[in-house]
Amino acid sequence: MESWRRNPLVFWVINLPPSLWLLFFFLIPLGLIWIFSFGEKRGVVDIEITWTLANYLRAMDPLYLQIFAKSLWFTAITTLLCLAVGFPIAFGISFAPAKWKPWLLLAIILPFWTNLLIRTYALIAVLRTRGYVNFTLEWFWDQGNWLLALLGLGQYQLLGAQFEALPLLYNNFAVVFGLVYVHLPFTVLPLYAALERMDSSYIEASLDLGAGQFRTFFTVVVPLAKAGIISAVIITFIPALGSFLTPDLLGGTDSQMIANVIERQFKSANDWPFGAALSFILMYATFFALALRALLARGSSSMEAA
Amino acid sequence: MTESAGIGGAGGKPIISIREVSKIFGGAVTAVDDVSLDIHEGEFFALLGPSGCGKTTLLRMLAGFEIPSLGQVLLDGQSLDGVPPNKRPINMVFQSYAVFPHMSVFDNVAYGLKITGVDKAETMARVDEALELVKLGGFGGRRPDQLSGGQRQRVALARALVKRPRVLLLDEPLSALDAKLREAMQLELVRLRETVGITFVIVTHDQAEALSMANRIAVMESGKVRQVAGPAELYEYPNCRFVADFIGKMNLFEGRVTGLAGNQITVQVEGLGEVTLPAVEQAEGEVGIAVRPEKLRLDREDPGAGRIAFRGRVSEVAYYGDTSNIFITDAAGRAVSANIQNEARRTDSHVAVGDDLWCSWDPQDTLVLTG
């Protein structure tokens, strides 16, 4: 850094192009959307900037607040499930033999290499009424019936008169399931990084002092991985809150999230000012969460420093 | 092998018996190779060897973090097979100390007591006592990141000792400390062991550390124990070339036994001619003739009969203040090191590079190494 200050030409040659890119393609468009959010729709493409707060007031309508609340709820459950599933996975990988680690990590990252849309359609094929989960369940149902018939209990129809497919798709369950599936790698990777860095002698010391595996996990491993857990929560929560493809394709009529509403404003409803206002409310909520995190981190910085 | 009558009750009943233990990693790397050892109640026992000799693996098998591939470890005559680390009355001070950074000093020390369900009042009393013992009284409320490395190590010690283990294991406990602190800590560990009366087993690669602290030392090389003895015996009577060379400094000559008469043997040594030495069992054929640098004497004149002597030229003088190390090159070009005390106060050396001198030693101080 110091040498760059002494040689400003090099600094600007390297940093000017990305700075300009960020300015023109990120900050300026973002500023435009912010300005739109104070505008009024005049025609099909005309927006007049009147600095009205009407769009923000409209977003406070219970209808939209409810969708905001539902989005937060879905995202919170998703983040918790990702943690519950991702922590054991990350823990397992960090203690796997060294030659396996790259392959296990690859298995976690691999879904990223496939388009989200394709992955979501694949999930539809798995979850739908005539999907693989229900096929498997039906197979078990058939086997069960066959076994019962063999035992001479066939006539009682203990497993029901016919196979009832589970409603796994186009509901809230499908949305949360899909969100967990999509965001799991975001949770696993920061957790893995934190656990991998952890000195294994902390775990050994805990065992040595008489603690069992479970106590060691909850009193030593989890607290020491706290920084990684916070990162994992943020990095999972933020993109999950803005999801629109997953609820759009997997959800039912009542499982839309706020991003679906925003998308509709910009496309079918053609109400850019309102869509912009909703976008910024979502962003402010995210900033609030980050500020909260920073505040929490400051409270425990003495722990993480060690 | 004669067992030295150490200070700490060597010859008492073994608290730990290591029986024909081997550890093979991944079916290929033999870290510990058929080791049998007894560690006695109240001893300060050191496992000494260069890095990669298997000493840490052996220690980790005592703690239960590694399982012997062959053989077994007994504690008070009971096999430790299948006993996990948290069920062994053995505690360990880790090389990195492993003081939990998210707990206060008090909570660190109390950790092991809470698990065993010691009540609150007793926990308080025992933690305070343990912290006093390691001179950290009043530090209970501190967080580990407010402590120095030496203080963190004391926390690790207190945390292990508060459990009143049968055996305390220390894995390279002084390696992260600076030289001054390390010296002070060596003395303190010895004092601590005498106070608590617990058997200490320490792993170290530093021979000076082992010699000054332990009352019995096992020297290891490539997974095998080469010699087990007290510090003085190990230094004065090493049983093989490896131990002779690893413990302290040693001048080594190669020779061949030419005769055995009564309690004396004659050895033909290159550069020294035929020398007569006190007899050693099983000395025949090729042997190593070794002598410590401080046993050598330098003279201007021929030291006369009764001493093994050769004439050489001073090639290098290394001045250490209290002593000087003089390198003498003989006619064959071999350098021998002599350590001499700088007894009188003077700033010029009485031995200078280029001086021709007689270098001699008493045959009684000579070691005949067959291994």
Last residue of a domain, one of B245, B269, B284: B245
Tell me the average pLDDT across A247-274.
90
To the nearest whole Å, the CA of B108 is away from the closest chain A CA by 10
What percent of chain B lies above the pLDDT cut of 70?
Answer: 96
Q: Are residues B82 and B64 in the same domain?
A: yes
CA-based nearest residue to B104, from B181, B172, B63, B158: B158
DSSP state of B59: H
How far apart, in whole angstroms, are the C-alpha atoms of residue B24 and residue A180? Answer: 43
What proportion of chain A, given as a percentage, has pLDDT over 90?
60
Q: What is the mean pLDDT of chain B?
A: 89
Per-residue model confidence as pLDDT tens digits over B106-143: 999 999 999 988 999 999 999 999 999 999 999 999 99
The complex scores an ipTM of 0.82
Boundary-marking domain end, from B245, B277, B302:
B245
Q: Is the dihedral of CA A257, A263, A266, A270 positive or negative?
A: negative
CB B213 within 8 A of CB B186: yes
In a domain, B6, yes or no: no
Q: What is the dihedral of CA B302, B304, B307, B310, to 10 degrees?
A: 30
pLDDT-based confidence at residue B307 (cuts at 50, 70, 90)? confident
Is the domain of B215 the same as that of B285? no
Q: Are strands B78-79 and B70-75 parallel, antiparallel or unpaired?
A: antiparallel
Mean pLDDT taken over chain A: 89
Q: What is the domain-level CATH number for residue B44?
A: 3.40.50.300
The pLDDT value recorded for residue B3 is: 40
The answer to whether B349 and B319 have CB atoms below 8 angstroms apart is: yes
A211 closest CB neighbour out of B86, B91, B144: B86
Q: Which residues of B touch A210 (CB under 8 A)?
A: 86-87, 112, 115-116, 163
CB contact under 8 A, A210 and B145: no
- pLDDT of amino acid B219: 96
Are B48 and B159 members of one domain?
yes
Q: Report the alpha-carbon distance of residue B289 to residue B185 in Å, rounded.
A: 36
Q: What is the pTM of this model?
A: 0.80
Instruction: Look at strands B44-48 and B199-204 and give their pairing.
Output: parallel
Q: Pick the last residue of a domain from B227, B245, B263.
A: B245
Residues B84 and B192 grouped into a single domain:
yes
* Cα dist from A208 to B63, B104, B111, B165, B214, whole Å: 7, 19, 11, 11, 23
Query: Which of B92, B116, B145 lies nearest to residue A306, judging by beta carbons?
Result: B145
- Per-residue pLDDT band at B81 (split at 50, 70, 90): very high
Q: Where are the domains of chain A?
A: 64-128+168-305
Same domain for B163 and B261: no
φ, ψ for residue A162, nearest 5 deg: -150, 165
CB B31: neighbour CB atoms within 10 A? 21
Give the amino acid at B222. S
Contact (Cβ atoms closer than 8 angstroms) between residue A251 and residue A175: yes
- Among the partner-chain residues B86, B98, B156, the one whose CB lies closest to the CB of A212 is B86
Please give the tally of structural domains in chain B: 2
A277 CB-near residues (< 8 Å, 6+ apart)? A37, A55, A56, A58, A59
Query: How confident is the model at residue A299, as a pLDDT?
Result: 63
- Please report which confidence band the pLDDT of residue A47 belongs to, taking 50, 70 and 90 as the band edges: confident
Report how far residue B67's alpha carbon sits from residue B57's, in angstroms, rounded to the nearest whole number.
10
Is there a domain that residue B325 lies in?
A: yes
A71 pLDDT higher than 60: yes
Amino acid A4: pLDDT: 67
Q: Which of A212-221, A223-232, B240-249, B304-313 has the lowest mean pLDDT?
A: B304-313
**Which chain A residues are within 8 Å of B102, Cβ to Cβ?**
223-224, 226, 303, 306
Q: Which of A229, A286, A199 is nearest to A83 (CA)?
A: A229
At B13, list the tokens: 């009943």
Q: Is the predicted pLDDT of residue B346 greater than 80, yes or no?
A: no
The residue type of A70 is K
Residue B350 has pLDDT above 80, yes or no: no
Q: With beta carbons less than 8 A apart as the criterion, state whether A261 and A269 touch.
A: no
Q: What is chain A's length?
A: 306
What confidence tier does B12 reach under pLDDT thresholds 50, 70, 90? low
Distance CA B33, CA B171 (A): 20
Contacts with A223 from chain B: Cβ below 8 Å: 102
Q: Identify whether the C-beta of residue B309 lies closer than 8 Å to the C-beta of residue B359.
A: yes
The answer to whether B27 faces chain A, any CB pair under 8 Å, is no
pLDDT tier, B306 (very low <50, low <70, confident <90, very high otherwise):
confident
pLDDT for B352 equals: 83
Q: What CATH number does the domain containing B293 carry?
A: 2.40.50.140
B291 and B213 belong to one structural domain? no
State whether residue B25 sits within 8 Å of chain A by CB: no
- The C-alpha of B23 sits at a distance from chain A's nearest C-alpha, in angstroms, of 18
CA gap A271, A262 in Å, rounded? 9
Asked if the structure places residue B4 within a domain, the reply is no
Residue indicated by tokens 């505690």: B91
Is B206 found in the same domain as B101? yes
Residue B5 domain-assigned (yes or no) = no
pLDDT of residue A29: 94
Q: Are residues B77 and B188 in the same domain?
A: yes
* Mean pLDDT for the stretch of residues B295-323: 87
Chain centroid offset of residue A13 CA? 37
Over residues A84-106, the pLDDT tens digits come to: 999 999 999 999 998 999 999 99
Identify whether the C-beta of residue A172 lies closer than 8 Å to the C-beta of residue A250.
no
CB A47 within 8 A of CB A41: yes
Instruction: Note whether B371 and B239 are within 8 A (CB).
Output: yes
> What does residue A38 show for φ and ψ, rounded to 5 degrees?
-105, 20
CATH class of A64-128+168-305: mainly alpha
Question: Which residues constitute the domain of residue B117?
Answer: 14-245
